Every structure is written in C-alpha cells, then in structure tokens.
Chains A and B, each alone.
Chain A
C-alpha cells in the first residue's frame, strides 16, 4: 500500500513544483496547493499506516483495546491543512493586489522591487 501512496506523493510533488515554475500567478497558487497535499500525505504515510481505527476512545472505555491509528501525524497534518489554507488565501490576495498594482501576472516580470 505504501508503495502506491509513495508514487502518488511523488506525482503531487513533481506536479506542484512544475506548476510553481510556470509564469502565471494562478498556476503558482495551484502548484502550492498540490505541494501541500503532497507534504501532508508524506507525513501521513511516513507516520505509518495502520488500519486500526481512529484514535478515539469509545464511550465507557478508558484504554485502547486495539492499537488505533497514530494520532501524532494526524495532529501535525491537521495543523498543516489549516495553515496551508491561510497561506493560499493570503497568497491569493497578495497576488491579486500585485496584479492590480503592477499590471502583470507574469512571474518572470516580477523581479524588480520598484514599481513605475
């Protein structure tokens, strides 16, 4: 199973970075999105895949009878998903404003700090 996921992660990284190397601002954001999916899945897979059920105690139980899925990568990814949303949203607004101010959405032209 891990092998399959590893291949998927590879594709997400490759696709994400390829899009980030294009010249459009929108493609840059989409690439960033793919890259964060890849990173999340990387943490998830590397943390070990267990089909033991969610790490949630049933009512009345005090200890886990069977070993559940690892809660730690989940906590990390949960944070990561939220943060990447914040980054995407901020980047989107930033790029929109940049486009309106500078008048281009060509990343290659955004290399000077001075506007006209």
Chain B
C-alpha cells in the first residue's frame, strides 16, 4: 500500500514535467498510477470480503510511537476504490478540460496529490497518520479551489474552505489525542475493538463532540455547510472529485470508521441524526432555488452528506447498509453529473446558468445519454442504482416515520436537480446565441463510465452487495452481517413511498420557475446565515490584527524597547517571585574597599554618561565605565579579559570621538513626561536585573563544564592558558563564527562608507 501511495505522490510531483515533455498525453501517462491502485484494490476484494484485512506497517518515529501503518478492510476498500477509480477518470477528464491551458501541469499536480492524500486518509491505521493526510486534503483542496488565483472570488472561497476545514481539523486533533489517550493506542484497528472502554470513559462526550466538529466541518454539515457551495469556484474536475465524491466524504468516513468505538450511545444518535437530518433537508431545500448548474449539484451534495450522517446516526445495521449503498450510488451519479455540467460549460463557452441552456441534445448526444443515466439515477428512478439505494434506505428507516418524511422531501429535491441538470440543458429549443459541440474524447470516459455504472450496477446488485457493500457495512458495524441488494423487492411500502417521492419531485420540477423566483425573494435571509457569521468573524480577526499592529508596531524605537523591556521585567519578575527569596548568601566573595571604590566610580560614570548634555563628556564617561570593567576583570583572575577590554574600549572611544562631530549636537529633548516614564522603566529593569543576578548566584550546576576544560586543556590541547584554549581549540568553530561576524560588520561598514547613494538627477 505504501508503495502504491508513494507512486501516486511521485506522479503528482512529476506532473508538471510530464506536461512539459508531452502536453498532449499528460493525462494518459499520469493515469497509470491510480489505475495501478485500482487493479491492486480489485485484486484484494475476495481477501477483504472474507474478513481478512490487509495490513502494512513501517516504523517512522519510534520515540513518538509513530508508525506508517496501513489497514485495508471493507470500509477502506469501498472508499479507496471510489477515490482511485473516479480519480483515474478525473485525471483523463482534466486532460481534455484543460487542453492547451498553460497551467495544466500544475492542476494535475494538485489533483493527483489530493488523490494520494485522500487515499492516505482512508488507508491509514495510525490516528496521527490519518490526521496528517486529513490536513493534506484540506491543503490540496485550498490549492484547487484557488486554482484561478486571478479571481478574488476563487481566492476568498479557497480561504474560506481552508479556514473552516482546518479549524475543524484542530478540533479533530484534540479529539484524536484524547481518543488515543482513552483507548491507550494510536491504532484505529485496535481502537474500534475497545468500544466498551471508550463508552465508559469519562472523556467520552468531549471526544465525541471534538471528533464530530472535525468531521462536520470537513463534510459540510450544518452549520459549517456554507463553504461547500462557495467552493464551486474550483475548476469542474476538482468540484466533481473533491467536493462531491471524495474529500467531503472524509468526515463521513471517519465517523463510520469510529462507529464501533464511539457509536451505540444516545449522544451519538442524537448528535448525528439531528445534524444529519437538518443538513439533509437544508441542502435539499436550498437546492430547489438554484440557477447555476454547479450550485444545484453542490447543495444536493451537502444534502447527501447530511443523509449519510443521518443514516450513520440511526446506526442500525439496516441503515448502515443503506448508507454504504447510498455512498456508492451518490459517488457515481454525482461525479457523472458534475463532469457533464463541466462539459456543458466548457463546450458552450462558459454558460453556467440552467435557464439559459437548452436544446443541446443534437450538439452533444453522448453527454445527453450519460446525463439521462446519471440524472435518473439521482432522482431514484427504477431501474437505476439510485433507486436501489433509495429503496434500501426507505426500507431501513421503516420505524422512523419522521425520517421517512424528511427523505420524501429530500428525495423530491433530488428529482428536481436530476432533471434540471440531466435534462433541462438538452431538451427544448436551443437559444439562438448558444453554440456548442460535443466534448472531446478524453472528457468522455468519465461521464460514460460513471453513467453506465449508474445503470449497470442495478443488474449486478447481488455481487455489488456481496463484494463491496457487505464488507464495508461489516466494518462499520463491526459484526458479521449479510447484504442482499435487490433491484425489485416487490410492491411494498418502500416502493409506494418511492413513487410518491418521484411524483412530488416531478411536480416540483414543473414549478421550478416559481421556486427560483421565491428563492430570489428570500435571498435577504442569507445576511443572517452562517456564511455571514463567518465573514463577520473573519473581518473581526483582521480588524484586531490591524489594531494590534498599529499599537505595537509604531516604528518608533522607544516603543519597541518599552514593550520588550516591560515584558522581560514582568516575566523575569514573575519567575523570581515564584522561585521565592534568596536563601543562600554564603559563599559570597568578601567586599573589599578597592572594589567598592571601583563600583562607586562605575555608577558615577554611568550617571555622567546618561546625564551629560555634551557629547564628548558622555563618550568619555562611557570610556571610564569600560576601563573600570577592565580593572574588575584583573581583580577576579581574568587578565585576558582585562587586556581585551582595555584595547577595545580605547578603540571604541577613539572611534566615537572621531565620528561624533559629524553629527549635530544633542538637541532633540524629549518631553518631561516621556523622560519620567523612561526613567521609571529603566529603573525597573535595573532593579529586576540586579535581583536576577543575586538569584542566579545560588543556581549551581552539579558538574560545571569548566572542570572539563581546566582538566583537559593542557593534557589534550597542550595549552596553558585555558581561556585561549577554549577559544581556539575546544570551541574553535564558535570563534570562526565570531570572526565571520567581525568580517561582515567590517565589510558592511566599508560598503556604507564607500558606496554613496546616487543623487537623483533632475528631481521632481
């Protein structure tokens, strides 16, 4: 698994180069990587179906207990097949969609990188690994939505999707850390066996809520659903792939994966069913009034995701079977419709509104055929796979009349959208100004394969149910169950409800112009929606940042020093108070008169330096301080320091004296109040530092490093002067660094002196 995953990542890296070398066949070459994955997965179906998951594990960071662990069971297999299978078709489609586009290589890179990340999410067995891939999908999604970076709308949508999903990711991270703590393992395959421990754990509810927030943001559940329709700014291949069939299902996947561990509690059912149902209805109802092809599809995607969460929340083995079936059905018809919608927009020169399209059946017969298949499957018409899924679903909700009611409303909306995208653009009269032609060959694979699957799956319900749905459902429920899907389950209650749904749906479609008009009038409500709340929060953060920068980054040195110094005083002071007192006053060197005299001299010289109005006096007083330093060094056994200090201090004073007359005399007096404040601040630093020195005296390391130097300097370095040996031998590299600093300073000073800025000639 790791090998195949790496191959796809490498394919992503190579994509721009492949595109440069043979731009006509980029897609055809790159598609080999995901196809290899598909073949491998197909070969594993029998093994996994018999309950033998494929596992792989490599040590990564031992200390962090981090392994590259992968685990392929029924659930992972279903998702991985969808990701790599649809991914292959998308790569081919991209080839045609971006034909001749100079940035095609870049797009390919993003979308294949996304594919690999998404495969990582569903295959990884280590929670941290899942999280890493999870964040990678958010990141690649950001790049894909913002692909048209010249458009401000695309940039905003990309940022919004990123902020919402990454914020959710942070919650998820907290959740999985607590989850791993509670289960005492990072391995998902082990966590799901410890459901009873987790259910009884005191952190159960926080874990559930945190994980749910992570999953809900990713899977666009209410109230985080708003980013998904906005994300339709992405180029269509990305919308079809990320924002309908794969990435947005990551949240559903994660919750399904954790169902054995966290499910089967009342809280689980309550949270998931409530949020899922709200999202399901909200998405469906909002889809009714949409005019733009991709937005129609986007809102029903939100709705479908809600339905999956709802079915998962109910959590009986029937609803879970229904969910797995629906995931399959939805992925196929939704991706097909997106690809067709993209094709229509692409071939009509950018037309996106449903109402301005019509009569394309002659110009685009192949697209039309695929659209019929996918549209009818979406509506849930027999004998399409969408019908099978809806039957299973209605059957599973037998004891939940409220949810059946919701399903009827939602299902009717799907009929409307299926018609509006699948039929409306092709039927009727073609508007005069519309010119269209059939999509090119590479763009046909996707719609044809996906569309045919929508129909063909219905005739292989037995084998689909047995090989794909059953292992997936088994993994979610974590106990053996049998799945028998039927195209025709008899004339029962579910079928009647299905028929009613279809009828209402057709009725809705007929009154679509009224619905769109109503939606237009209700548009004001958007001002109070979560999207507006997001904008409000974002603006708030930006305003706070602007205020913060204005206050702290004034550009005046004094303010910077004040902030830095006061922070230091506060932190060091707090640390000193916490350390408490200065217990050890012993071992202090005795006060001798000569040192006391030097100290007094230094303090007076400092005063003179600070206070003097004359530049020369100030400089000389500073020199006095430096020479006093040299005296102190000689007192305490540091002749080398004393010598260096003398030389350097002399040099500094000479330098300053030479330079100062180039400057004007001191003339910028500060205000009295500023000076007073500065004195207080300076005094507080002085006192803090004095206390710090006193406190530092009783910090004593058990074995000072110095002992090593004292002992080894003659034995190993053959030098008698230990300080010199440290500098040129033990820490020679540091000294090299020091010399480098000196050289750079010297070069810089020289350059500043010699290179005069060119005087601008002419002037303005």
- 18 A–B contact pairs at CB < 8 A? A1-B588, A5-B693, A6-B690, A7-B603, A11-B686, A14-B685, A27-B618, A30-B622, A42-B693, A55-B637, A56-B722, A71-B713, A75-B731, A78-B640, A79-B735, A81-B641, A81-B645, A111-B554
Give B403 Cβ to nearest chain A Cβ, in Å: 63
Task: Decide if A2 touches B588 in the complex (CB within 8 Å).
Answer: yes
With the chains together, A57 CA to B651 CA distance in Å?
Answer: 30
How does the 8 Å CB contact mask read for B620-639 relative to A, with 1 for contact and 0 for none? 00100110010011011111
Residues of B within 8 A of A59 (CB): 720
Closest 5 CB pairs of A and B: A14-B686, A111-B555, A69-B637, A10-B690, A10-B686
- Whether the pair A107, B558 counts as a contact (CB closer than 8 A) is yes
Chain B residue at minimum C-beta to C-beta distance from A59: B720
Residues B720 and A56 in contact, CB atoms below 8 Å apart: yes
Task: Indicate if the CB atoms of B655 and A92 lie closer than 8 Å.
Answer: yes
B570 adjacent to chain A (CB < 8 Å): no
**Residues in B690-710 with C-beta less than 8 Å from chain A:** 690-694, 696-697, 704-706, 709-710
CB of B727 within 8 Å of the partner chain: yes
A30-B618, A67-B710, A111-B554 given; 9 more Cβ-contact pairs under 8 Å: A3-B591, A21-B557, A42-B693, A70-B704, A78-B641, A82-B644, A89-B749, A105-B664, A108-B557
Hey, which chain A residues are within 8 Å of B742, CB to CB? Answer: 82-83, 86
**Chain A CB within 8 A of B496 CB:** no
Q: Give min CB distance, A115 to chain B, whole Å.
A: 9
Instruction: Determine the residue in chain B with the shortest Cβ distance to A58.
Output: B720
Complex CA distance for A79 and B679, rounded to whole angstroms: 31
Pick out which of these stretches binds chain A: B110-118, B319-327, B607-615: B607-615
Known: A14-B683, A51-B636, A55-B710. A77 touches B659 (CB 8 A): no
Chain A 53-87 near chain B by CB (<8 Å), digits 1 or 0: 11111110011100111111011011101110111
Contact across chains for A55 and B589 when beta carbons are under 8 A apart: no
How far does the alpha carbon of A17 sit from the alpha carbon of B590 in the complex, in Å? 30
Residue of B nearest to A42 (CB): B693
Q: Which residues of B contact A111 (CB under 8 A)?
A: 554-556
Name A12's closest neighbour in chain B (CB-CB): B606
Q: Give a binary string over A1-40; 1 marks a CB under 8 Å from any B CB, 0 the rest.
A: 1111111111111110111111111111110011001101
B-side residues, CB < 8 A to A, are 554-558, 561-562, 565, 588-592, 595-596, 599, 602-603, 606-607, 609-610, 615, 618-619, 622, 625-626, 629, 632-633, 635-641, 644-645, 648, 651-652, 655-656, 659-660, 662-664, 666-670, 678-679, 681-683, 685-687, 689-694, 696-697, 704-706, 709-711, 713-715, 720-723, 726-727, 731, 734-735, 738, 741-742, 745-746, 748-749, 752-753, 757
B636–A69 CB distance below 8 A: yes
Give B608's nearest chain A residue, CB to CB. A15
The verdict on A46 contacting B637 (CB below 8 Å), with A6-B690, A18-B678, A33-B622 known, is no
Find out whether the CB atom of B741 lies under 8 angstroms from the CB atom of A83.
Answer: yes
A79 touches B738 (CB 8 A): yes
Find out whether the CB atom of A21 lies under 8 angstroms from the CB atom of B562.
yes
**Alpha-carbon separation in the docked complex, A67 to B746 (Å):** 39
Using known A-B contacts A22-B670, A34-B622, A90-B745, determine if residue A78 contacts B723 with beta carbons closer than 8 Å: yes
Minimal beta-carbon separation of A52 from chain B (angstroms): 6
Chain B min CB distance to A40 (Å): 7
Tell me the count of chain A residues lying within 8 A, CB to CB, of chain B: 89
Q: Do the beta carbons of A34 and B625 come within 8 Å of each other?
A: yes
Among A10, A30, A70, A95, contact of B687 (Cβ-Cβ < 8 Å) = A10
B629 in contact with A40 (CB, 8 Å)? yes
Contacts of B690 in A (CB 8 A): 6-7, 9-10
Given the interface pairs A11-B686, A34-B622, A46-B693, the reply to whether A21 lies near B640 with Cβ below 8 Å is no
Bound CA–CA A53/B201 (angstroms): 65
Residues of A within 8 A of B726 (CB): 71-72, 75
Closest to B658 in A: A92
Contact between chains at A8 and B656 (CB < 8 Å): no
Closest to B602 in A: A8
Q: How far is the CB of A86 from chain B (nearest CB, A)?
A: 4
Name the contact of B607 in the complex, choosing from A15, A70, A71 (C-beta under 8 A).
A15
- Complex interface: chain B residues within 8 A of A67 (CB): 710
By the criterion CB–CB under 8 Å, are B749 and A5 in contact?
no
- Per the bound structure, the CA–CA distance linking A51 and B635 in Å amounts to 7
Residues of A within 8 A of B749 (CB): 89-90, 92-94
Smallest Cβ distance from A3 to chain B, in angstroms? 7
Cβ–Cβ contact A81 & B644, under 8 A: yes
Contact B641 A74 (CB under 8 A): yes
B662 and A99 form a contact (CB under 8 A): yes
Residues of B within 8 A of A44 (CB): 632-633, 636, 638, 641
B757 and A92 contacting across the interface, CB-CB below 8 Å: no
Query: Could you tell me the distance between the alpha carbons of A110 and B735 in the complex, rounded to whole angstroms?
Result: 35
Contact A105 B663 (CB under 8 A): yes
Q: Is the CB of B603 within 8 A of A8?
A: yes
Q: Which of B615, B696, B711, B727 meets A26, CB within 8 Å? A: B615
Least CB distance, A7 to chain B, in whole angstroms: 6
**How far, in angstroms, from A4 to B713 measured CA to CA in the complex?**
33
Is B648 a contact of A81 with CB atoms below 8 Å? Answer: yes
> Separation in Å of the A80 CB from the closest CB of chain B?
9
> Quick one: which of B636, B667, B694 has the most chain A CB within 10 A?
B636
Complex contact A17–B685 (CB within 8 A):
yes
Say whether, besides A7-B599, A88-B652, A19 and B609 are in contact (CB < 8 Å): yes
A48 to B639, CA, bound (A): 16
- Shortest distance from the beta carbon of A116 to any chain B beta carbon, whole Å: 10
> In the complex, which residues of chain B have a beta carbon less than 8 angstroms from the beta carbon of A4?
591, 595-596, 599
A107 to chain B, nearest CB (A): 5
Complex contact B711–A63 (CB within 8 A): yes
Among candidates B682, B692, B738, residue contacting A17 with C-beta atoms closer than 8 Å: B682
Across-interface contacts of A42 in B (CB, < 8 A)? 689, 692-693
A77 to B710, CA, bound (A): 17
Chain B residue, CB-CB nearest to A19: B610
List residues of chain B with CB within 8 A of the CB of A20.
557, 561
Which of A45, A50, A75 neighbours the largest number of chain B CB atoms within 10 Å of its CB? A75
A15:B609 contact, CB within 8 angstroms? yes
Closest residue on chain B to residue A39 by CB atoms: B689
* In contact, A1 and B592 (Cβ under 8 angstroms): yes
**Residue pair B606, A53 in contact (C-beta under 8 Å):** no
Bound together, the chains give a CA A2 to CA B734 distance in angstroms of 29
A15 to chain B: closest CB distance in Å?
4
Q: A7-B603, A62-B715 are in contact. Are A13 and B689 (CB under 8 A)?
A: yes
Residue of B nearest to A1 (CB): B589
How far is the CB of B668 from the nearest CB of chain A, in Å?
Answer: 4
Closest A residue to B565 by beta carbon equals: A17
Contact B670 A23 (CB under 8 A): yes
Question: What chain A residues lie within 8 Å of B704 (beta carbons)?
Answer: 70, 72
List B contacts of A8 (CB < 8 A). 599, 602-603
Task: Find chain B residues with CB under 8 A from A12 CB.
Answer: 602, 606, 625
Whole-angstrom CA separation of A50 from B638 in the bound complex: 10
- Smallest CB separation, A16 vs chain B (Å): 8
Q: Do A18 and B663 have beta carbons less than 8 Å apart?
A: no
Question: For B622, what are the chain A residues with a Cβ–Cβ distance below 8 Å?
Answer: 30, 33-34
* C-alpha gap A107/B629 in the complex (Å): 29
**Interchain CB contact under 8 A, B652 and A68:** no
* Nearest CB of B to A20, in Å: 6
Within the complex, what minimum Cβ distance (angstroms) separates A102 from chain B? Answer: 11
A57 to B714, Cβ gap below 8 A?
Answer: yes
Q: How far is the CA of A79 from the CA of B738 in the complex (A)?
A: 7
- Minimum Cβ distance to chain A for residue B594 (Å): 11
Q: Do A107 and B694 touch across chains, with their CB atoms under 8 A apart?
A: no
- How far apart are the CA atoms of A88 and B625 in the complex, in Å? 16
In Å, the complex CA distance between A101 and B760 comes to 12
> Are B711 and A11 neighbours in the complex by a CB distance under 8 Å?
no
The distance in angstroms between the C-alpha atoms of A39 and B684, with both chains bound, is 16
Q: Which among A9, A52, A74, A75 is the interface contact of B693 at CB below 8 angstroms?
A: A9
